Amino acid sequence: MNTVNEILGKIERNQFIVGIVGLGYVGLPLAVSFAGKKVKTIGFEKSATKASHVNNKINYIGDVTDAELKEVVEANFLEATTDFTRMKECDAILICVPTPLDQFKKPNMDYIETSCREIGKYMKRNTFICLESTTYPTTTEDFMLPIIEKESGFKEGKDFWLAFSPERVDPGNKQFGTRNTPKVLGAMTEEGLEIGKAIYKYAIDTIYPVSSPKVAEMVKILENTYRLINISLINELALLCGKMDIDIWEVIEAAKTKPYGFQAFYPGPGIGGHCIPLDPFYLEHIAKKFNFDLTMIHTAGHIDMMMPHRMTLKIASALNRQQKSINGSQVLFLGIAYKPNIDDERESPALRIMDEVSKKGAKVIYHDPFISSTRVGSSTYQSVDLTKQLLNDSDCVVITTNHQVFDSDFIVKESKLVVDLRNAIKKSSDKVYKL
Amino acid sequence: MNTVNEILGKIERNQFIVGIVGLGYVGLPLAVSFAGKKVKTIGFEKSATKASHVNNKINYIGDVTDAELKEVVEANFLEATTDFTRMKECDAILICVPTPLDQFKKPNMDYIETSCREIGKYMKRNTFICLESTTYPTTTEDFMLPIIEKESGFKEGKDFWLAFSPERVDPGNKQFGTRNTPKVLGAMTEEGLEIGKAIYKYAIDTIYPVSSPKVAEMVKILENTYRLINISLINELALLCGKMDIDIWEVIEAAKTKPYGFQAFYPGPGIGGHCIPLDPFYLEHIAKKFNFDLTMIHTAGHIDMMMPHRMTLKIASALNRQQKSINGSQVLFLGIAYKPNIDDERESPALRIMDEVSKKGAKVIYHDPFISSTRVGSSTYQSVDLTKQLLNDSDCVVITTNHQVFDSDFIVKESKLVVDLRNAIKKSSDKVYKL
């Protein structure tokens, strides 16, 4: 009890060091948020390039401003290191590592496991440890705890505290960032919860405590599963509406006039990014252990898996009306990021469509003002300049991501054929085929 | 063109009569809304009892106040009749009849068909006809139009106008009723749309026009399909959380702290009412014609169909902990309406659970302050008084609908065992089993 009060006192007086494992789109904004409140922050990063970028004030994350990063590094509140032994300096270690799926859509827990081993090896007594990465419920207590206790020889609730607090980063969201998005926190013990709240208070305005790590784990999965199934529903309805000659975009705008009980989702070529295509399948994975089949997630996954193929058929069908085949056509993709106005193409459906269209014999090119090159299958593509000539020369222009900078009038005017998968083009034209 | 202007002028000057077919939970509030603005309104109703109730100012719909009904009937703005030949008096006929599913979950279009035949037989030239009943897209143009044109010998767009405008009634909603809920309207012609807007303006504050009846038809289906799939998702997750010993209600409250991109739905014993369990299956029906399988709706339907059985297992499992079987136990159901504080048990999941528990040999009784008797299968049940003795004597009390009047402290205190399917009981107790 004395120890806990001492720890809380040190936190209160800002006499503590926070370590953040992983300086990606979650970890770096969080580190900058702590350091911005004059908390001594150490970023642990496997990539020497990223670590040196941070130390040299070279910003690589859209949700962080160059000025913020410069300020906190110059003031010595933030430094990055590849030396994980320095975890022994930290009073809190917050883990922001990736939790990808492997190619069979099974969770890849390697990053969490490695982090836990290193923490177990190097941490000092009385450290608060919190995972932020999205993962299946029970991860903190059933997967992390045994590794950390074994490596350290310490006991949770006595020698250290373990918690889970899901990141809710929405890249590119100008209204809600790390600081002003409420943060759910579930710890294994009451003391852990109190320590966690005291620490996070420096970086986050509102902490919402829950009764256990597994509740916090489920919260994040629920949020993103909600999005997965609603996007999948609207994608499926968009395909039906295409067959029934109903404009799904008009339907959604009209449904939005219902003043209660409706939230609009929009169709598109498929689900992208590092959350929605992944998180629900973490839950599907653990559900099997409980002999439980998550049919809604399974069905949504099924819809998403077929979307790139359905979009390829849309392109084929548009070309067919001009008596052309995919094979031999030049197909220009506009926007390959997984959502507008960001530079991230992870899990982007555009890549999967490019791959399929290319395999069917098209000459595939793309333009994205935010992404200068990308790999699709075994090929590397470079973004080409968006010129009048390029549009004139392409047999089909496919709008896969509706970046704000795109000039839809120009695109329609100069193209022979446009397949608009994002409702980017508002004026009707017989050159344009909408999803 | 002249005719249309003449018609619009007559509407403008309130020199028109509106006929409303079906005086149920949609038609009667709509009729009262028109009549309240001094529009001469005739309600057409097959049930002589309902018609005479209206004419005798006996209110039978919760969303209408007794005073409103009295006022408009006494002022002669509203009358009801069973004489459908009087449709010839009407300038507008708005159809608010039921569109149920049959026992194989196929659309029953009989009410719409009959209405169209009667309209076709009796209407005068220049009538505006609008369907409000939820149905599959294409109903207005492909199903109604041929019947009306054949029966009347009239031509749409010349002799009459046909439109679709979905009702959005949410029974018991105190904030949004007929007048202040925006209304989507899609007509077959521009003129029809203008006439429809002019007419509905008397009863509804905001009209949102769309390009066709089938868009308007799809809007309503989208709204309720959204609800169906989200309720089904949360029901499925609730069952998993039960197995994982995670409190789904706590998870939902925490997820609600996300300030964007999330809308909370709550689990329960299944889907009820006359919209959500029906409307999406109208779309599934028509999709088959387009060779299209709506997998999300299908999966949601599957989850809903198994819910009463899963709830029966919950009851069995709760009784089992007290070494009792369903067979021979007295099981008291509290609340059988499909949602709180209303008197409507249509499609209520409570009835399906009562049926299954009864077939397994329980003595089933129920209490609902709003519903004095109900039929379940071939049996009729009467609501019993909720007394201390009743709770003491029941082996299991199941909260199927959380009416506000229920006193949860009293229920927990006096019961041997409570299965709470609605998160009605906030205090934890080892007598209480939550969904």
CATH of residue B280's domain is 3.40.50.720
Answer whether B244 sits within 8 Å of A208, measured CB to CB. Answer: no
What kind and span of H or E run contains A305?
helix A295-321
CA distance A121 to A154: 10
The answer to whether A405 and A369 are in contact (CB under 8 A) is yes
Structural domain tally of chain B? 2
Domain shared by B272 and B188, yes or no: no
CA distance B267 to B432: 17
Residue A231's closest chain B neighbor by CA? B226
Domain shared by B204 and B264, yes or no: no
pLDDT at position A2: 66
Residue B289's closest chain A neighbor by CA? A244
Domain of A303? 249-434
Domain shared by B256 and B203, yes or no: no
Answer whether A254 sits within 8 Å of B170, measured CB to CB. Answer: no
Residue B294's closest chain A neighbor by CA? A236
Name B397's bridge partners.
B332, B418
Choose one of A183, A211, A239: the last residue of a domain: A211
pLDDT at position A329: 98
Instruction: Give the residue among A2, A15, A1 at the shortest CA–CA distance from A198.
Output: A15
What ipTM score was computed for the predicted complex, to two decimals?
0.95
CA distance A41 to A92: 10
Percentage, residues of chain B above pLDDT 70: 100
The answer to whether B187 and B216 are in contact (CB under 8 A) is no
pLDDT at position B11: 97
Interface residue A395 vs chain B (CB under 8 A):
no
CA distance B14 to A357: 60
Give the count of alpha carbons within 13 A of A186, CB side only: 25
The b-or-e profile of A121-139 (16+ CB within 10 A means b, else e) is: ebbeebbbbbbbbbbbbbb
Choose one of A163, A190, A211: the last residue of a domain: A211
Instruction: Give the residue among B411, B416, B420, B311 at the shortest CA–CA distance from B357.
Output: B311
Would residue B66 count as lying in a domain?
yes
Name A185's bridge partners.
A209
Domain shared by A174 and A126, yes or no: yes
What kind and span of H or E run contains A372?
none
Name B150's bridge partners.
none
CB-count exposure of residue B127 (10 Å: 0-12, 13-18, 19+): buried
Q: Which of A168, A243, A290 is closest, CB to CB, to B292?
A: A243
pLDDT of B1 > 70? The answer is: no
CA distance A333 to A317: 16
Residues 106-165 in B contacting A (C-alpha not used; CB under 8 Å)? 137-138
Instruction: Give the residue among B176, B133, B124, B183 at the shortest CA–CA distance from B22.
Output: B133
Would residue B16 count as lying in a domain?
yes
CA angle in degrees (0–180, nearest 5) for B378-B382-B385 = 155
Mind listing the pLDDT tens digit for each residue in B294-307?
Answer: 999 999 999 999 99
Mind listing the pLDDT tens digit for each residue in B156-192?
Answer: 999 999 999 999 999 889 999 999 999 999 999 999 9
Write out the two tokens for B396.
């299991």
Domain shared by B275 and B153, yes or no: no
Domain shared by B155 and B256, yes or no: no
The answer to whether A382 and A373 are in contact (CB under 8 A) is yes
Choose one of B181, B211, B241: the last residue of a domain: B211
DSSP A362: -
The alpha-helical segments, DSSP class H, found in A373-417 are 388-393, 408-414
Chain B residues inside the 8 Å CB shell of A233:
225-226, 229, 296
Name A131's bridge partners.
A95, A164
Residue B137's closest chain A neighbor by CA? A244
The answer to whether A303 and B295 are in contact (CB under 8 A) is yes
- Shortest Cα distance, chain B CAs vs residue A148, angstroms: 23
Answer whether A215 sits within 8 Å of B254, measured CB to CB. Answer: yes
- Give me the amino acid identity at B53: H
CA distance A121 to A88: 9
Q: Which of B90, B130, B241, B275 is catalytic?
A: B275
Mind listing the pLDDT tens digit for each residue in B326-355?
Answer: 999 999 999 999 999 999 998 999 999 999
Strand residues in B156-229 grouped as ranges (E): 160-164, 183-187, 207-210
Answer whether A227 sits within 8 Å of B261, measured CB to CB. Answer: yes
pLDDT confidence band for B274 (50 / 70 / 90) = confident
Would residue A423 count as lying in a domain?
yes
Interface residue B187 vs chain A (CB under 8 A):
no
3-class secondary-structure state, position B249 = helix
3-class secondary-structure state, position A38 = coil
Sheet architecture: strand order including B127-131? B78-81, B40-44, B17-21, B92-95, B127-131, B160-164, B183-187, B207-210
Interface residue B176 vs chain A (CB under 8 A):
yes
Domain shared by B180 and B278, yes or no: no
CA distance A176 to A395: 41
Q: B130 catalytic, yes or no? A: no
Residues 333-352 in B contacting A (C-alpha not used; CB under 8 Å)? none
Q: Are strands B183-187 and B160-164 parallel, antiparallel or unpaired?
A: antiparallel
pLDDT of B319 > 80? The answer is: yes
CA distance B311 to B317: 10
Mind listing the pLDDT tens digit for each residue in B20-69?
Answer: 999 999 999 999 999 999 999 999 999 999 999 999 999 999 999 999 99
* pTM passes above 0.90: yes
Would residue A310 count as lying in a domain?
yes
- Shortest Cα distance, chain A CAs vs residue B321, angstroms: 21
Query: Which residues of chain A, if any, have pLDDT below 50?
Result: none
Instruction: Give the residue among B132, B141, B134 at the shortest CA–CA distance from B93.
Output: B132
Percentage, residues of chain A above pLDDT 70: 100
Mutation target to probe the A interface, by most A beta carbons within 10 A, among B226, B271, B305, B313 is B226
CA distance A261 to B407: 28
Mutation target to probe the A interface, by most A beta carbons within 10 A, among B178, B220, B262 is B262
Domain shared by B301 and B204, yes or no: no
Domain shared by B55 and B177, yes or no: yes
pLDDT at position B378: 87
Would residue A216 count as lying in a domain?
no
Instruction: Find all residues with CB under 8 Å of B94, minimum gap 6, and list them.
Output: B18, B19, B20, B21, B27, B30, B129, B130, B132, B165
Mind listing the pLDDT tens digit for each residue in B373-429?
Answer: 999 988 999 999 999 999 999 999 999 999 999 999 999 999 999 999 999 999 889
CA angle in degrees (0–180, nearest 5) for A285-A286-A289 = 110
Would residue A182 count as lying in a domain?
yes
Domain shared by B303 and B382, yes or no: yes
Phi then psi for A272, rounded to 5 degrees? -135, 180
CA distance A344 to A228: 19
Write out the two tokens for A304.
């998403």
Chain A residues inside the 8 Å CB shell of B163:
none
Domain shared by B58 and B135, yes or no: yes
Answer whether A303 sits within 8 Å of B295, measured CB to CB. Answer: yes
Q: Assign residue A170 a region (left: φ > 0; alpha: ψ between -120 and 50; beta: otherwise).
A: beta
As separate numbers, helices (DSSP H) first and strands (DSSP E) second, chain B gives 14, 15
pLDDT at position B407: 96
Domain shared by B147 and B51, yes or no: yes
pLDDT at position A388: 97
Q: CB atoms < 10 A from the CB of B44, how many?
A: 29
Would residue B156 count as lying in a domain?
yes
Would residue A239 count as lying in a domain?
no
pLDDT confidence band for B2 (50 / 70 / 90) = low
3-class secondary-structure state, position A299 = helix
The b-or-e profile of B366-392 (16+ CB within 10 A means b, else e) is: bbbbbbeebebeeeebebeebeeebbe
CA distance A83 to A60: 21
Answer whether B292 sits within 8 Å of A239, measured CB to CB. Answer: yes
